[in-house]
Amino acid sequence: MALPSINPTQTKAWQQLSEIYSVEKETSILEHFKNESNRVEKFCVQFEDFLVDFSKNRLSEKAFQALMSLAQEVKLKEAIQAQFQGDVINQTEGRAVLHTALRSNSEINVEGEPIRQDVNAAKLKIKSFVEKVQNGEWKGFSGQPITDVVNIGIGGSDLGPQMVMDALSFYKNHLNVHFISNVDGDHVAETLKGLNPETTLCLVVSKSFGTQETLTNATTVRNWFLKHTTQDNIKLHFVAVSANVDKAEKFGISIENVFPMWDWVGGRFSLWSTVGLSIALGTSYDAFQDLLDGANEMDTHFKDEDFHNNIPVILGLLTVWYNNFYNAESEAIIPYTQYLQKLAPYLQQAIMESNGKGVDRLGNPVSYQTGNIVWGEPGTNSQHAFFQLLHQGTKLIPCDFIGYKHSLNDFTEHHNILMANFFAQTEALMNGKNEETVVNELEGKGMSKEDIDVLKPFKVFDGNRPTNTILINKLTPKSLGKLIAMYEHKIFVQGIVWNIFSYDQWGVELGKQLANKVLEDLNNEVMTPHDPSTTQLLKYFKE
């Protein structure tokens, strides 16, 4: 089934939401709490080890129900089913979108062909390879076991594994995993500095095996090896992950060293596939499987749970509410754990490459806002960086606060301080601080009335800043899998509502094409025509 194409702004629910917005836009979150009994119970979902409290939002019960109706009118349920059953929902690329199939055990067909056997075979290949590298059976050219793994890839072939490896540092083994993504030679140079070619294993990760950055970096790293050993030994140090086995082989990677992936796995959703090889190497195959299992649990929740209690559905609709009615341009993701320091950059690709589209599913320009900007940094560091703007700035920035009940390291005092900040910030963002409180506080400090009058406007916090609190029991491979899958499905929900195709990325092509043209201009004496500004810059660069 093709995804239906329904202009969300033409639905009854949208009309209703617009009306609710015009009546309720001045109603504060605190007033919603006063008006609605049991708001916390109603606006809170507990799913296994996740507690998601979305009660601190500018959202009345009525608006919530209208968002639920919107989901129905745009046929979200049918769309979810189409995705999970392997329909070609990535229509502009003619592909199914089945990263979910990588983490389930059920059989599924893609274009009439069952895929389970291939997926299981690839997983077995990962398992046996990982075990050999980890137990030292796999040896480098001088007979020594591997100590370092270098993942060479970019975008989805880098951000996902890198974020997960960082998030699972607590579970890491003796192998040091490095990531080279940027074509900037400084990235490869700095990474190679600390490495010994005798004990280094390279994973060239590229779904297409045609990405300029990855191939340039892989060639540089291969040349580095060839300064120390012969071509014959390259197979001991290079493996590839790709859906384009031919190209990987042409690059010089032995066929037995190629880990397959498939067209129906989108690059930015590929960490669950063989692209996650570095994760399994750096932790364990079992940890990788736990990650998949956790994601599968979130998949089941998303697929089967009633929308009223469905975490990704609720979070996705809340973004629509703020993006399309409150005109909020961005949202922040603030994990209260250093382990998730790379979550925001990872989600930037997942969310913005997916939903940064301006044409609807019929090919017409949209007349409403789609993909929003996401950004963030771990708390408490971000409190000392950009929270001033969140608290007192002129922009409305809804935030996701992600925290853990239990910390992994035995520093109870640290964890309590961290989590005290976690809870206090969402409270402060919602409650603010009114003039009366400010005046009382300053009077208490003995300040004169005149001085108080001058200072007080700067010390008032309007509050009413929305947040979702995502409180998870503990950071484990399984709960991490669930968290990532939660955001993946949230992206899907938004894309369905906005009536866009979330799984292509034509917008990154133009820059790539032009870069090739410019590269020729940099290498050749005579330049092709450019606009006056670019011509001037190129001339200056070449001087």
The catalytic residues are 353, 384, 512
Nearest to 167 by CA among 277, 283, 285, 297: 283
Question: What's the CA gap between 102 and 105, in Å, rounded?
Answer: 8
DSSP state of 169: G
Provide CB contacts within 8 A for 349, sequence distance 6+: 155, 156, 159, 268
Min separation Cβ 205 and ligand F6P, Å? 7
Q: Tell whether residue 508 is a contact of ligand F6P (CB under 6 A).
A: yes
Given the rule CB under 6 A, which of 162-170, 202-210, 356-364, 469-477 is the region that contacts ligand F6P? 202-210
- Secondary element (H or E) of residue 401: strand 399-406
212 lies in the site for ligand F6P, by CB under 6 A: no
Q: Does 505 bind ligand F6P (CB under 6 A)?
A: yes
- Least Å from the CB of residue 234 to ligand F6P: 20
Nearest approach in angstroms of CB 206 to ligand F6P is: 3
The region, left, alpha or beta by phi > 0 then psi within -120 to 50, assigned to residue 351 is alpha
> Among residues 156, 276, 294, 335, which is the contact residue for ligand F6P, using CB under 6 A?
156
Give residues 321-340 in contact with ligand F6P (rule: CB under 6 A): none
Contacting range for ligand F6P; rule: CB under 6 A; set: 73-81, 90-98, 205-213, 375-383: 205-213
| DSSP letter for each residue of 41-71 | HHTEEEETTEEEE--SSS--HHHHHHHHHHH
Is position 207 an interface residue for ligand F6P (rule: CB under 6 A)? yes
Q: Which is nearer to ligand F6P, 121 or 508 (CB)?
A: 508
Q: Does 214 bind ligand F6P (CB under 6 A)?
A: yes
Q: Looking at beta carbons only, is 352 or 418 nearer to ligand F6P? A: 352
Among candidate residues 168, 212, 226, 227, the one with its CA nearest the CA of residue 476: 168
Q: Is residue 157 part of the contact set for ligand F6P (CB under 6 A)?
A: yes
Q: Does 182 bind ligand F6P (CB under 6 A)?
A: no
Provide the minimum distance between the beta carbon of 271 and ligand F6P in the complex, in angstroms, as a whole number: 10
Please count the other Cβ atoms lying within 10 Å of the Cβ belonging to residue 270: 25
Only one residue has tokens 């649990």, namely 297
Tokens of 99: 């990263």
Residue 206 in the binding site for ligand F6P (CB under 6 A): yes
Short-list 337, 321, 332, CA closest to 393: 332
| Shortest Å distance, C-beta 247 to ligand F6P | 10
φ and ψ at 365, to 5 degrees? -60, 140
- Residue 437 contacts residue 503 (beta carbons within 8 Å): no
- Residue 274 found at the interface with ligand F6P (CB under 6 A): no
Cβ pair 50, 400 in contact under 8 A = no
Nearest CB to ligand F6P, comparing residues 178 and 415: 178
- Alpha-carbon gap, residue 42 to 309, rounded angstroms: 9
Locate tokens 């605190």: which residue? 30
Contacting range for ligand F6P; rule: CB under 6 A; set: 98-106, 107-115, 152-160, 358-366: 152-160
Segment interacting with ligand F6P, rule: CB under 6 A, options 38-46, 204-212, 455-463, 465-473 = 204-212
| Other beta carbons less than 10 A from residue 511's beta carbon | 8
Interactions with ligand F6P, residue window 239-268 (CB under 6 A): 267-268
Residue window 352-391: x/- pattern of binding to ligand F6P, with contact defined by CB under 6 A: -x--------------------------------------
Q: Which is nearer to ligand F6P, 115 or 215 (CB)?
A: 215
Per-residue tokens: 403: 């925290």
Residues making contact with ligand F6P (CB under 6 A): 154-157, 206-208, 211, 214, 267-268, 353, 505, 508
